[in-house]
């Protein structure tokens, strides 16, 4: 192997190693965090709190809700299944929807999801505040909750 080729291989290896290190921006933690109490009820499911923060260009969201035992006592198993979709609205007019999520048992629940803003100018890196969380739902294992406009 020639000396010129070995130096290029070593330089490429150093570049790969450096790119695998965490960036200083990510190592410092989130730019912002916000949490808000909720008073949203859908099919007797009480959505009580939403937490959000940035992770680089991602907005990470956690929705806390309680699924009541009374909603899961139908003799037909399919009716003991609920499907939800959430829309998060943030300061600056930014908003996005979750994927559809399901629940088939009573109890305290946390649904976590994220939205990548990299193709939208990486707006997640700016200081943001939660403004609103809406939830649509339907009942049945194959139902499709209405999307937000």
CATH number for the domain harbouring residue 92: 2.60.40
- Average pLDDT, consecutive stretches of 10 residues, N- to C-terminus, the chain (149 residues): 47 41 53 95 98 97 98 93 98 96 97 98 96 97 94
Residue 4 within any structural domain of the chain: no
What is the domain count for the chain? 1
| Interatomic CA distance for residues 28 and 125, integer angstroms | 12
Residue 11 within any structural domain of the chain: no
Residue 83 within any structural domain of the chain: yes
With 0.85 as the threshold, say if the pTM is over it.
no
Residue 45 within any structural domain of the chain: yes
How many residues make up the chain in this entry?
Answer: 149
Residue 12 within any structural domain of the chain: no
Instruction: For 89-128, write each residue's pLDDT tens digit.
Output: 999 999 999 999 999 999 999 999 999 999 999 999 999 9
> What is the span of the domain harbouring residue 63?
28-139
SS (H, E, C) the chain: CCHHHHHHHHHHHHHHHHHCCCCHHHHCCCCCEEEEEEEEEECCEEEEEEEEEEECCEEEEEEEEEECHHHHCCCCHHHHCEEEEEEEEEHHHCEEECCCEEECCCEEEEEEEEEECHHHCCHHHCCCCEEEEEEEEEECCCCCCCCCC
Nearby residues of 2 by Cβ (< 8 Å), 6 or more positions away: none
């Amino acid at each position: 192997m020639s000396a010129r080729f070995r130096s290029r291989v070593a330089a490429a290896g150093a570049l790969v190693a450096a790119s695998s290190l965490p960036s200083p921006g990510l190592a410092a933690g989130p730019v912002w965090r916000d949490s808000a109490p909720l008073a949203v009820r859908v099919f007797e499911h009480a959505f009580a709190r939403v937490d959000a923060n940035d992770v680089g260009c991602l907005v990470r969201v956690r929705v806390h809700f309680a699924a009541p035992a009374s909603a899961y006592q139908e003799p037909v198993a399919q009716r003991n299944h609920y499907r939800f979709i959430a829309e998060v609205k943030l300061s600056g007019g930014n908003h996005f929807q979750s994927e559809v999520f399901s629940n088939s048992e009573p109890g305290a629940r946390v649904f976590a999801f994220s939205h990548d803003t990299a193709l939208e100018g990486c707006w997640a890196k700016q200081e943001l505040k939660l403004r609103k969380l809406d939830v649509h739902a339907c009942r049945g294992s194959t139902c499709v909750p209405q999307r937000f406009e």
